[in-house]
Amino acid sequence: MTSLAFERTPLADAELVRLYSQMTQVRHLDTSAIAWQRQGIVPGYAPMRGQEAAQVGAVAALDMSRDFLFPTYREMGAALAAGVDMGEYMATHKATWNGGMYDARATRVTPIQTVIGGSALHAVGWGHGQRLDALAADADAPLDLPVALVFLGDGATSQGDVHEAMNFAGVFETPTVFFVQNNGWAISVPTERQVSGGSVAARGAGYGIAAVRVDGNDIEEVVQATRAAVAHARSGAGPVVVEAMTYRRGPHSTSDDPGRYRSLEEERNDGGPDPLDVARERLLSRGAFSTADVADVQSAAEALEERVRADVQAQGPRPGAEMFEYVYQEMPVSLREQAAAWREESDHV
């Protein structure tokens, strides 16, 4: 099979304005988060500069009242677009709580995933559950399934679990969108040393699932392709691989030194157009936007950043007792004893 067909029609002006302001907000927050790390406000962060269109655009194609998002650790833009509170999101990077402080059930966004490829099978299992629910409710009705969208990097597609997930998804025809941001690098290893077979999208054929490759710097293209992928999955036609071609403009994380594996000149040349510039130029040229509007969007982003920074700075450590509380739904006696000993020995009575 089969490359997924999608329409390259422009988005409505109002929608593009909305997405452009989300992109501007994440750009601003993402840039600030790096500064916060330098200032000692957070211990570390994984920048996503250059991936704003891919992330915001992918989420724009979802219905967050019923779909479910499975992010990695580089999905600030997706989390913001999905409505996750950015202070609670940053709690992972602040080292407040692994996975973040947001409620995964209420937000329909799984916790920040550290294990490369770890979530792909979860998205398949969750999607299979939706399919079982639908068939149990009415086996004859046309399918209109909630969809799981899982973010992966190009490096993640080397993992066995991702192969297993694509194979399972194909076999069970689950409503799963494998949204791969091919940002050119997996830490220091370039895509050509990571992905055999030319592209990630090419893999879809091996699993009999639809696939498409899009320009991840062009938000309209991302939205339209992902909408087509979601519609395909929703209708019960099975999973889709979307490979969004982006570029990781900064370091892999705030502790990475990209100078050891690529030059600044390469970064400038290989990045392609900045996704924010693409969207803004389009709005301006269509007359949907004035330079005053650009300034408004920017100041809204600055206001958000200030609020999030205050939130993050205000976050103290969680009470130590929580470390014991959340291991199990039903805490074993042995752990209760350890918690009691901890309380006594560390004066937390």
Give residues in contact with another protein (CB under 8 A).
66, 68, 97-99, 101, 103-106, 108, 110-111, 114-115, 118, 120-130, 132-137, 146, 148, 160-161, 164-165, 167-168, 171, 322, 325-330, 332-335
Residues 6+ apart with CB under 8 A from 27: 49, 52, 276, 301
d(CA 109, CA 149): 10
Q: Is 85 helix (H, G, I), strand (E, B) or coil?
A: coil
203 binds, among ligand TPP, another protein, none (CB under 5 to 8 A by kind): none
Residue 301 contacts ligand TPP per CB under 6 A:
no
Residue 248 or 280: the one with the smaller Cβ distance to ligand TPP is 248
63 binds, among ligand TPP, another protein, none (CB under 5 to 8 A by kind): none
Residue 111 contacts ligand TPP per CB under 6 A:
no
Residue 193 contacts ligand TPP per CB under 6 A:
no
105 binds, among ligand TPP, another protein, none (CB under 5 to 8 A by kind): another protein
CA angle 201, 204, 209 (to 5 degrees): 135
| 159 CB-contact burial (10 Å; exposed 0-12 / middle 13-18 / buried 19+) | middle
According to DSSP, residue 147 is labeled: -
Residue 155 contacts ligand TPP per CB under 6 A:
yes
Minimum distance of another protein from residue 316's CB (angstroms)? 16
Window 47-86: residues binding ligand TPP (CB under 6 A): 74
> 10 Å Cβ neighbour count for 145?
22
> Distance from CA of residue 165 to its chain's centroid?
18
Window 210-229: residues binding ligand TPP (CB under 6 A): none
For ligand TPP, the binding residues (CB under 6 A) are: 74, 114-116, 153-156, 183, 185-187, 248, 252
